């Protein structure tokens, strides 16, 4: 499917941002223990202070920020309102926002999720979202179509590093694994795009040996880097041939340096430089 002619596709915008700031994707994960470490209360006030501090620190330092929606949603409607403001502030500061929501549904419900996060008319519009394809890749069509119209991106769970993942992802469909089939679909969608497509895959840094072809001409979001055990050496070993598409995600390794803004910036720069 061709990307919309009247908007700049996410893949092109991401390539430009990575060229300027490096490939680091910094998480915004305000879980309770981190709020406590920062001396903040585990409530909406603490949440808002945390999120605004991270945006202030990371603007102009990294290409992409990745808020984890669940940590905002746990505070109810007021928490979602903080997420909305965080998205708007981050985008206004020039950051690309990849919202980690891992949505996956069918028909009109999938279309409603897509409208909520990817449509330009939404107050929660982000640059890209994570989605789950395990109702069938075709169920993602509303996300892909809405992303195309609005210059957005979609990152599809493919090879996650959680121990439960192989039960589904390594299952076979004829000669292919389920994960391989998802990657094939993404490769097809990105085939004509330059410098890269807007439809990416999520592949964990701690998957061990990589047996699937991850060259999908699109971005690869790589969680598990940093505090979760994945090293730069792991990334180079696993993803060296497609390095220009790699987007390593780090959260705790940066956020642990807070709440001081200057310390957060130094932590982000250290990780960014390590990836250079």
Q: What is the pTM of this model?
A: 0.95
Tens digit of each residue's pLDDT, the chain (276 residues): 344 458 999 999 999 999 999 999 999 999 999 999 999 999 999 999 999 999 999 999 999 999 999 999 999 999 999 999 999 999 999 999 999 999 999 999 999 999 999 999 999 999 999 999 999 999 999 999 999 999 999 999 999 988 899 899 999 989 999 999 999 999 999 999 999 999 999 998 877 778 899 999 999 999 977 666 778 888 998 999 999 999 999 999 999 999 999 999 999 999 999 998
Helix (H, G, I), strand (E, B) or coil at 15: helix
- Determine the pLDDT at residue 5: 55
Q: Hey, which bits of 128-229 come out as E strands?
A: 128-131, 153-159, 172-173, 176-177, 199-203, 220-222
Could you tell me if 226 and 259 are in contact, meaning their C-beta atoms sit under 8 angstroms apart? no
Q: Which of 31, 85, 91, 102 is catalytic?
A: 102
- Reading the block at residue 207, the tokens are 């998957």
Residue 94 phi/psi, 5-degree rounding, is 90, 5
CB atoms within 10 A of CB 43: 12
For residue 58, the model assigns a pLDDT of 98
Residue 2's pLDDT is 43
What does the CA dihedral 175, 179, 182, 187 come to, rounded to 10 degrees? -80
Q: Which residues pair with 230 in a beta bridge?
A: 225
Residue 66 designated active-site: no
* pLDDT confidence of residue 254: 96
CATH 1.25.40.10 for the 10-275 domain, yes or no: no
């Amino acid at each position: 499917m061709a990307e919309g002619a009247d908007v700049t596709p996410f893949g092109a915008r991401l390539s430009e941002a990575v060229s300027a700031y490096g490939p680091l994707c910094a998480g915004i994960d305000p879980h309770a223990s981190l709020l406590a470490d920062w001396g903040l209360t585990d409530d909406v006030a603490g949440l808002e202070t945390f999120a605004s501090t991270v945006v202030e620190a990371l603007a102009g330092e990294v290409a992409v920020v990745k808020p984890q929606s669940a940590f905002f949603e746990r505070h109810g409607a007021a928490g979602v309102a903080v997420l909305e403001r965080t998205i708007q502030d981050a985008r206004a500061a020039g950051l690309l926002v990849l919202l980690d929501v891992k949505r996956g549904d069918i028909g009109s419900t999938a279309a409603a999720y897509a409208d909520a996060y990817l449509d330009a008319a939404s107050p929660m519009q982000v640059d890209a979202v994570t989605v789950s394809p395990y109702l069938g890749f075709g169920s993602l069509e509303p996300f892909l179509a809405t992303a195309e119209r609005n210059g957005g991106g979609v990152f599809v769970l493919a090879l996650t590093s959680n121990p439960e993942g192989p039960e589904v992802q390594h299952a076979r469909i004829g000669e292919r694994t389920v994960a391989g089939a998802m990657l094939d679909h993404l490769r097809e969608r990105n085939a004509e795009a330059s410098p890269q497509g807007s439809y990416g895959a999520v592949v964990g840094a701690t998957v061990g040996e990589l047996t699937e072809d991850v060259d999908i001409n699109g971005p690869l979001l790589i969680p598990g880097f940093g505090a979760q055990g994945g090293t730069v050496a792991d990334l180079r070993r696993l993803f060296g041939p497609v390095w220009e598409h790699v987007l390593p995600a780090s959260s705790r390794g940066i956020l642990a340096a807070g709440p001081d803004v200057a310390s957060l910036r130094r932590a982000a720069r250290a990780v960014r430089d390590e990836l250079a």
